[in-house]
Amino acid sequence: MTLTLDTRLRIGIQTIHCRTEPADAPWMPRISELVDLVQLIDGSGYDSLWVGDHISFPLAILDPLLQLAQAAVVSRRLTLGTSVLLLPLRHPTPVAKQVTTLDHLTEGRFILGVGVGGEFPREYAACDVAHNERGARLAEGVTVLRKFFSGQPVSHHGKFYGPFEDVPMKPPPRQPNGPPI
């Protein structure tokens, strides 16, 4: 197997929203500050903007897909991505719709980073997902996503998801075969 390496180093910034400490004031940045921040990142020559994910965590974290949709309105150049979306905590069918939508909103500049997390087991309990199943759920969830990214009606009979038959999802992703996972 030959691995082709890009000749250009790409550098990105992690996260765009933060909270004030202690967490008793409004979320920062405000919309105008977010616009300025994304424009600064874009204008400084960075290649990408990434956000993390937790459903429940000791620190406040906003939904990553919604944050990236907001950033996509500002930048027409930056690659936007999740680092990482905790896919085992979500059913992959609505995630496929959200990711496909974000792929269109970013004009094909979206990368879906997924992972298992696990450093905060209570968020798994709150989502009714066994902590020890997170790896298997991730693997099956990626399979379901790739099926939906094909643009064809999807059938799936898995351990965690399905059974369902011939479910169409339109439009298909903007990037052929969907955003990179």
Q: What is the CATH number of the domain that holds 107?
A: 3.20.20.30
Per-residue pLDDT of 14-47, as tens digits, reads: 977 666 666 666 666 688 888 888 999 999 999 9
Residue 172 in domain: no
Strands (E), 75-119: 79-86, 110-115
Residue 177 in domain: no
**Rounded to two decimals, what is the model's pTM?**
0.91
Q: Which domain holds residue 113?
A: 12-167
Question: What was the pLDDT predicted at 21?
Answer: 63
Residue 124 in domain: yes
Work out whether strand 79-86 and strand 48-51 pair parallel, antiparallel, or are unpaired. parallel
Cis amide prior to 163 (ω within 30 degrees):
yes
Residue 6 in domain: no
How many domains would you assign to the chain? 1
Residue 25 in domain: yes
Residue 83 in domain: yes
